[in-house]
Structures are given as structure tokens and as C-alpha cells.
Structure 1
């Protein structure tokens, strides 16, 4: 819910409130102008990963971010979050999720998909901080860097 809410809303809903709001997004499913909260990857029928993608306008907090504010006025879709079960990490699932998210967005009419991965020289990186994905997976899927306002957080785009 981090980028879907203002800082004030996020703090007010801390804990159960924000968890309930995310559950509601899943329970409600997509509406006529919404794709819902994202896509789920399954391995042998079991959930193995998740990627959150939606129109950038669904993430109003990005507008006010010093580091992730819009690069231009292009109509972009944003990949806001990844979750890969630790049993399936380092097996290419992030790249598969990225490809699926781009395909899904393209079917919805998207022309540009944007992501905000971590770019760190550290070989080991705590998963709790890697919820936006890693730059390597984005590059592998054809994203290119379009801006960098932080040493470790590029803004990357893929034209569909």
C-alpha cells in the first residue's frame, strides 16, 4: 500500500489498517478501469511470487517522491513491488514476472512500463529491502535507465 497512499494515510493505517486495505484490493478484484493489485506466479500450482503493476496514477505517492517523481509527462505504468518466495529466488522468477507484467499492461493499452529497482554493488542484499526488484532483472527483460536521482535507485523504462 506504500505508494497507493499518501504518507499521512500510510501512517494512519499502519499495521492492520494497511493490511486490510491490501486485502480489500485483492478481494474486490479488478474493476472496469482497473487491473487489480498485480499478478501472481505459480510453481506447481502454488503461489511463488507476485508483482504489483498498475497505471502510475494508482500510486500517488510516486508523484511526491524526491527520487521517484515523474521523469516527464508520458503515460506510464509502474511496477511498484515484487515478492518472490525464498524457495524460488535466483531462478529467474523475477524476470518471468516482469515479462508477464509487461505483456499484461500491453494488453490493457500500456505503451511504457516503468520500474524502480535496487542497483547495489553488494552481492548479498536483505530481501526486505529488495521489494522493488533488482536492476539486473529489469535489464534482462529490456528495460533501460531513464533517470537516476539516487545512487542505488534508477528509474527504468521499457517501451512496449
Structure 2
């Protein structure tokens, strides 16, 4: 089993990981925390796919894809915080003025979970951010202290998952996900 992490420029791979089975459905497509709420709400069905297709065609990919033996099996969204609603969040604090990148969505396809793929996605996202000049990378996972996180809310990751990737606690937040408090975890790349 070989896991390779690559920039998410291939829309078909990204759609396999994030898109709906029915193209007319209005699923998240990893846009909820990437774009302003009003725009997110306005995009319906195929418009969401078109928006993501545009993101995939940019010079900087919207995230990274994990491939196992060539098949897309996981996703991690990573981008400069300045491009995201997190830049204006009242619940997720800025630790300092450093132009950090953010990881906010980690997804592993059904049938491939509990195989260590998420543990490769975060370092892969960090490596991609570093290759683009990021001075640090942040994540905003739940601090669940080992308790089970509902699968629908697990996309933010856990504090332990980020710690395993070399991140350290940077700040508390006023945000909650799945009933657990979220924290700012940071990995310095300087």
C-alpha cells in the first residue's frame, strides 16, 4: 500500500472525494469554510462543482489529495487564512499577525477510514503549504480528550491528530464542533 499526497488540481479526484452522488445536490464540497456564507448559500447543485473546478485550476491548489495505489482516498483543505472566512472570524482568534495557512477540512472516503490516511494528509498539507511559502500552518480541531466524535463533525480533526503531525496548542477558541470545544493548533515552518 503506497499513499501519495498531491496538490488537488485534478477536479475529478476532488469531486470523487467531496462531491455529491447526484450532481444536482447542494452538498458542502468543502466550500462552507472557504467562501463567505452568502456566496456559499447562493451556490446550488452544479454551481458548487463549477466553483470547485475553478479552484482546482488555480496555480495554488485548494488542498491536497491522498492517493492509495493511485486511487483518491482522502482530502485536506489548506489555504492562506487571509483567503478564508477564518480571517474575519470572531470565534477563532488570530494568535499573531503571521500570514498563516489554515487546514480546516480532513476527509477520508468510506471504505478507507481507520487506515492512517488522515495521519498522512495533515503532514502532506503542511508540506504543500511550506512549498508555497507559508511561515506556519494552523488547524482548528476539536479538543475531545479521546472521546468519540460524530462522523459528520469529524472533518475538523482532533487535537491528538494535529499533535501527531507536530502541531502544538496555540490558543483556545469560542468555537464548538459536535459538542466539543475547538482549539487553535499551530506548526511553525520558519
Same fold, judged at TM 0.5 (above):
yes
CA contact (8 A) 2:74 2:108 kept: yes
> Equivalent of 1:55, from 77, 80, 87?
80
Q: Tell me how far apart the structure 1 counterparts of residues 158 and 115 of structure 2 sit (CA, whole Å).
A: 13
What corresponds to 1:66 in structure 2?
Answer: 90
Uncovered stretches (5+) of structure 2, i.e. residues with no partner: 1-30, 175-179
> Equivalent of 2:41, from 5, 8, 11?
11
C-alpha deviations, 1:124-153, integer Å up to 9, x for none? 322221112121110011101111123610
Give the drift of 1:9.
Answer: 1.4
Q: Tell me how far apart the structure 2 counterparts of residues 19 and 120 of structure 1 sit (CA, whole Å).
A: 33
C-alpha deviations, 1:32-78, integer Å up to 9, x for none? xxx2111110112111101111111221x112322224222111011
Uncovered stretches (5+) of structure 1, i.e. residues with no partner: none
Q: What is the correspondence of 1:1-160 to structure 2 with a 5 Å cutoff?
A: 1-26=31-56, 28=57, 30-31=58-59, 35-59=60-84, 61-121=85-145, 123-150=147-174, 152-160=181-189
Q: Structure 1 pair 14/122, CA: closer, same or farther in 2 (3 Å)?
A: farther
Q: Tell me how far apart the structure 2 counterparts of residues 122 and 23 of structure 1 sit (CA, whole Å).
A: 36
Q: Tell me how far apart the structure 2 counterparts of residues 108 and 5 of structure 1 sit (CA, whole Å).
A: 21
Q: Tell me how far apart the structure 1 counterparts of residues 146 and 126 of structure 2 sit (CA, whole Å).
A: 27
Q: Tell me how far apart the structure 2 counterparts of residues 86 and 125 of structure 1 sit (CA, whole Å).
A: 16
- Count, aligned residues: 154
Please, what is the CA RMSD of the aligned residues? Answer: 1.8
Q: Structure 1 pair 49/132, CA: closer, same or farther in 2 (3 Å)?
A: same
Q: Secondary structure at the match of 1:83?
A: strand
Q: Tell me how far apart the structure 2 counterparts of residues 155 and 95 of structure 1 sit (CA, whole Å).
A: 18
Give the drift of 1:7.
Answer: 1.7
